[in-house]
Amino acid sequence: MPKLKTHKGAKSRFHITGSGKILRTKGGKSHLRRRKPKRVKRLYDELIAVSPADKPRIRRLLPYG
């Protein structure tokens, strides 16, 4: 069986914890931030769990995650 390739875009966007959860960052963090309040900007720093519907697709992109 040949080795599987990791999807590099998915590798940079998702983080897999030791218990197997897949975490992602929120979108909209990179620009247009000046008009947002500090409280809202802080929310972009959190990692949140991926939707259960997306998990199988992401697992396929990260075979060794």
Return the structure tokens found at 17: 């914890």
- pLDDT tens-digit series, residues 10-44: 999 999 999 999 999 988 888 888 899 999 889 89
CATH number of 8-60: 4.10.410.60
- Closest by CA to 62, choosing from 1, 26, 15, is 15
Is-contact 13 47, C-beta < 8 A?
no
pTM (two decimals): 0.81
